[in-house]
Amino acid sequence: MGRICDTPRVFHTSFRRFDRRPVSANLHPMKTLVLLVALLLLQTLAARAGTIHDIKVKDIDGKDTSLDAYKGKVLLIVNVASKCGLTPQYKALEALQQKYKDKGLIVLGFPCNQFGGQEPGTNEEIKQFCSTKYSVTFPLFDKIDVNGEKRHPLYVALAGKESPFPGDIKWNFNKFLIGKDGKILKRFEPRTTPDSPEVTQAIEAGLAAK
């Protein structure tokens, strides 16, 4: 009887010893595969991070569009206003557009009424003002919020926590320079004029980049 009772115990011990090695060995390729998939996913997310081309916007006429139309261009994105002390910057912005448009720069104007109520007009009124007063030819867009709970997704990307230049927009005519790949290159505060060396040098560097 003792031999009969001992047999299962010996068999069980032997099975555990035999089975442990192949199970452990088979886990290594699986772990490697999981790590590779995770790494590829992170690389994909990193490649997409900081780009703005897929963000949906409306143009000044209320038509749906996206910044994908400007892929491969250097962009200067500005929150604009018609009744601000900085409104004359429109002239310098249009000058930049004319000077660098053939080299790949596009100025994009986004009206905003969050600073002193200085952009109270309708889109049509804003469009007419810019055309008549400053002969603006660069694209204008639908009026948006750049701060607060209703901040437009574009400005979440430009000034939100994940941006390389985070922080609320301080006033009208804040400027963001976007590279050809859609990544944010520079942020310029409102009183930094569009024709300042700081801005023009950054634009030229962005245009020269491949």
Distance of alpha carbon 58 from alpha carbon 141, whole angstroms: 6
Distance of alpha carbon 144 from alpha carbon 153, whole angstroms: 10
In the Cβ-directed half-sphere of 202, how many Cα atoms lie within 13 Å?
20
Q: What is the torsional sign of CA 139, 145, 146, 151?
A: negative
In sequence order, the 6+-apart residues with CB closer than 8 A to the CB of 74 are: 100, 104, 105, 106, 177, 178, 179, 180, 203, 206, 207
Distance of alpha carbon 183 from alpha carbon 48, whole angstroms: 9
Let me know how long the chain is: 210
Q: Point out the catalytic residue in the list 5, 84, 112, 130.
A: 84
Residue 84 a catalytic site member: yes
The catalytic residue positions are 84
